[in-house]
A = this chain, B = another copy of it.
Amino acid sequence: MTSAYAQLEARFHKASVIGDSLSILHWDMATMMPDGSAESRAEQFAVLRGLHHQILAAPDLPDLLDAAGTEPLDAWERANLAEMRRDWIHTAALPADLVEAVTRAEAACEMVWREARAAADFAQVLPSLKALLALVREVGAVKAERLGVGLYDALLDQYEPGGRAAAIDPVFDHLEGFLPGFLAEVLEAQSYNPPPAPPPGPFPVECQRTLGLDMMTRLGFDFNRGRLDVSHHPFCGGHADDTRITTRYDETDFVSALMGVIHETGHALYEFGLPGGRWRHQPVGRARGMVMHESQSLLFEMQVARSRAFATFAAPAIRAAFDSDGPAWDAEALYRRGIKVEPGFIRVDADEVTYPAHVIIRYRLERALIEGRMELEDLPAAWNEGYGRLLGITPPNDRLGCLQDIHWYSGSWGYFPTYTLGAMTAAQVFDAARRAIPGMTDALSRGEVRPLLDWLRAEIHGKASSLSTTDLMVAATGRPLDPAVFAAHLRGRYLP
């Protein structure tokens, strides 16, 4: 007689393998697939997702979850069972007609949004967005009851398991108190000492690609289990045994692709470091959530690659890649251009100092909308007010304002906070690593990343989802997420 828990492991294993197949097909769609095959690929997704869903929606699954809870399990098995239940809540606990309605509303709203954004006309997408938000709140209500949490937390939990607004609020309050004054100081200091001009370019794609591959190798990317390709929107795809990152190249600016490659490499290193063997296809063996995943990409992009130490190592390699010379290629010039601060309207173009403001504005707004404390009609005005207050700028239109991000219009409510929580987590984890590893900064200035990577594997990657995000942080850094560490990082880097 197979235990309920063993039956669950077998089913989730199969679901995970189907998920891996879907990930490879997604990667192919973004990198290789000819345009005319989009419809047939969509049908492949629908069929494979349906087969995946059938496993989680099996009528006897809730009983198996309950029965497994009464069986003797060790700590990883218990954590695995908890993740299985979360999976079930987020994918199979909803009424089928609600799932269908929200899927349709997402597709419809996203389509209208593309036109509304081009026209900079929020009113155009308002009816579709209202319909979608109403359904998202319905979904949230079902999940909230199952999870025993509030409406916003139920949505946040989809992306950040265990994430709770009550924990985010004090962290973001601290940042919001700190950032406007800090930004003014940084801008003033920078005005006395502006970053040097970049080298003129152009920067041939082939040289950029070779440089990117070199940096990936240096950072520990395993090309026996992964690739680098080109796509319109850079991403880290595939799965832990076959992790495929992408970038896009701009021949007038090599930094953008390079930093993008390093960012996605951070995501990939997390995937490579997850436990193999028995846990490879179990929910507990997955990365902990979007906050921790983003922290690993930002740790390599923001903490490592934009540090003065790393610039010391990277500058000669970069100069050699483009076979160029001159003071614009010096390490200090590279470093100072990499930490230039400039308030702007667009989140994805923002620097490390102003980025959190973009996120805090979205977080406050999406919570108020989800919790019914605000009407969608008031979104553009409230958006612009936030930008004025936190960044001192006012978007001239909604294309540069509340229409810029796809998230809300495609149904991703509760996602935004993970970006800045990830950045703060990265700062705190990097700070702990530096304290734990003697000579780490010197090592980075020689391009030696291995001691840091080994520490991350032991403290973060290898633990997968066996602990909550907070417990992972406490184990690795000695305390829960502490906004003071991020603030100290910013002060250390941006003030003279």
CA of A467 to CA of B20, assembled, Å: 39
Q: A34 on the interface (CB 8 Å rule)? A: yes
| Residue from B17, B39, B226 in contact with A34 in the complex, judged by beta carbons closer than 8 Å | B226
Encoded as 1 (CB less than 8 Å from any B CB) or 0, chain A from 40 to 57 comes to 110110011001000000
CA of A297 to CA of B17, assembled, Å: 35
Which residues 219-262 in A have Cβ within 8 Å of B in the complex? 222-227, 239, 241-242
Q: Contact at A32–B222, with CB atoms within 8 Å? A: no
Q: A185 on the interface (CB 8 Å rule)? A: no
Least CB distance, A27 to chain B, in whole angstroms? 9
CA of A40 to CA of B243, assembled, Å: 12
CA of A39 to CA of B242, assembled, Å: 10
Q: Contact at B44–A17, with CB atoms within 8 Å? A: yes
Least CB distance, A231 to chain B, in whole angstroms? 13
**Residues of B contacting A223 with CB < 8 Å?**
34
Which residues 1-56 in A have Cβ within 8 Å of B in the complex? 14, 17-18, 20-21, 24-25, 28, 32-37, 39-41, 43-44, 47-48, 51
CA of A6 to CA of B256, assembled, Å: 53
Q: Contact at B227–A36, with CB atoms within 8 Å? A: no
| Residue from B14, B34, B225, B239 in contact with A242 in the complex, judged by beta carbons closer than 8 Å | B34
Q: Contact at A20–B40, with CB atoms within 8 Å? A: yes
Q: Contact at B227–A40, with CB atoms within 8 Å? A: no
Q: Contact at B227–A35, with CB atoms within 8 Å? A: no
**Residues of B contacting A35 with CB < 8 Å?**
224
Q: Contact at A36–B239, with CB atoms within 8 Å? A: no
Q: A36-B225, A224-B35 are in contact. Are A47 and B242 (CB under 8 A)?
A: no
In this complex, what residue of B is CB-closest to A239?
A: B40
**Residues of B contacting A24 with CB < 8 Å?**
25, 28, 44
In this complex, what residue of B is CB-closest to A39?
A: B241
**Residues of B contacting A21 with CB < 8 Å?**
21, 25, 44, 47-48
Encoded as 1 (CB less than 8 Å from any B CB) or 0, chain A from 259 to 279 comes to 000000000000000000000
**Residues of B contacting A239 with CB < 8 Å?**
40
In this complex, what residue of B is CB-closest to A48?
A: B21
**Residues of B contacting A40 with CB < 8 Å?**
20, 239, 241-242
Which residues 389-445 in A have Cβ within 8 Å of B in the complex? none
Q: Contact at A242–B37, with CB atoms within 8 Å? A: yes
**Residues of B contacting A14 with CB < 8 Å?**
47
**Residues of B contacting A48 with CB < 8 Å?**
18, 21, 48
CA of A24 to CA of B47, assembled, Å: 15
**Residues of B contacting A44 with CB < 8 Å?**
17, 20-21, 24
23 A-B contact pairs sorted by A residue (CB < 8 Å): A14-B47, A17-B43, A18-B48, A20-B44, A21-B25, A21-B44, A24-B25, A24-B44, A25-B25, A34-B223, A34-B224, A34-B225, A34-B227, A34-B242, A35-B224, A36-B225, A36-B241, A36-B242, A37-B225, A40-B239, A40-B241, A48-B48, A51-B51
